[in-house]
Amino acid sequence: MPIAAQIAEPLRATSPVVFASPHSGRVYPAAFLAEAQLPELILRSSEDAFVDQLLASAPEFGAPLLTTQVPRAYVDFNRDADELDPALILGAPRAGLNPRVASGLGVVARVVSNGRAIYRGKIPLSEAQARITAYWHPYHTALTGLLERQHRRFGQVLLCDFHSMPHEALTGHVARGARRPQIIIGDRWGAACAPAIVDQVEAIWRKTGLTVARNAPFAGAYITQRYGQPSTGMNVVQIEIDRALYMDEARIAPSADFAAFQGLMRGVIAELAALDTGAGVFDLAAE
């Protein structure tokens, strides 16, 4: 069975940043594969595949890294535990559905990419609740613990919550003649992170030469909303990376560019982890 939360700690904690990849898990329980009507390769299309590997150097720069083995198609940590889909889960309440749940992407997903149904029918509420108890709660307990520890130690914390987006995800969202964003930084339109910090995060990415955008169409989901409280020193940014930069999306395999992009990521991670050492960024955020 997959491990809910894996924390790679630095030998010496020098950074107020926490790096996380909540969607890169790829250990599929045998019972789930037997229950699903889709082959494993299709199920894996919902993963942020290999993002955990792209972030692996974070502890070298004094920052902890939180990852998971749990696949997003099994339990989605970027959803609230009560985002239950009545179209999938027998006995789930029908009141108060948000667009994520309505589209089949609740805490237990009904579909993967392109709206492909995972299951042949419905699953019992007890099964969904068992997954949430076994995996969702331990992941968020680990994340909460890391953020609170960093906040006590440094007075401020920045969670860099990393995700990946299919290359075609922005089709229809980019104006004609405009460059397609390769990196999207989401701070829920300023509600989840202090502006001085987001500005520095964006500047670091722009130095790489990649095309960077903010909030559109990905402003951040549950994790960004729940943990981002800049007025108390809890800052969160969601960072979406174009999968075409480092992987073959059809085969879900690293591309020939993977090693080079991993090197670029190492430089970005080093700069993100050092944010508290330059220009009083965290001091500015507290003013």
Q: Phi and psi for 284 in degrees, rounded to 5?
A: -60, -40
pLDDT for 276 equals: 61
Instruction: Tell me the CB-side half-sphere exposure of residue 154, using CA atoms within 13 A.
Output: 31
pLDDT at residue 98 in the model: 87
pLDDT at 169: 74
Do the Cβ atoms of 228 and 191 come closer than 8 Å?
Answer: yes
> What is the signed CA dihedral for 163, 167, 169, 170, rounded to 10 degrees?
110
pLDDT in tens, the chain (287 residues): 999 999 999 999 999 999 999 999 999 999 999 999 999 999 999 999 999 999 999 999 999 999 999 999 999 999 999 999 999 999 998 866 788 999 999 999 999 988 999 999 999 999 999 999 999 999 999 999 999 999 999 999 999 999 999 988 776 666 666 788 999 999 999 999 999 999 999 999 999 999 999 998 898 999 999 999 999 999 999 999 999 999 999 999 999 999 999 999 999 999 999 996 334 455 444 43
pLDDT at 97: 75
pTM, two decimal places: 0.94
Q: Which two tokens stand for residue 90?
A: 């027998």
Tell me the H-state helices in 176-257.
Answer: 195-206, 222-227
- By the 10 Å C-beta count (0-12 exposed, 13-18 middle, 19+ buried), 43 is classed as buried
**Which pLDDT does position 277 carry in this prediction?**
33
Are β-strands 247-248 and 253-254 bridged in parallel, bridged antiparallel, or unpaired?
Answer: antiparallel
Asked if 138 contacts 132 with a C-beta cutoff of 8 angstroms, the reply is no
SS3 state of residue 61: helix
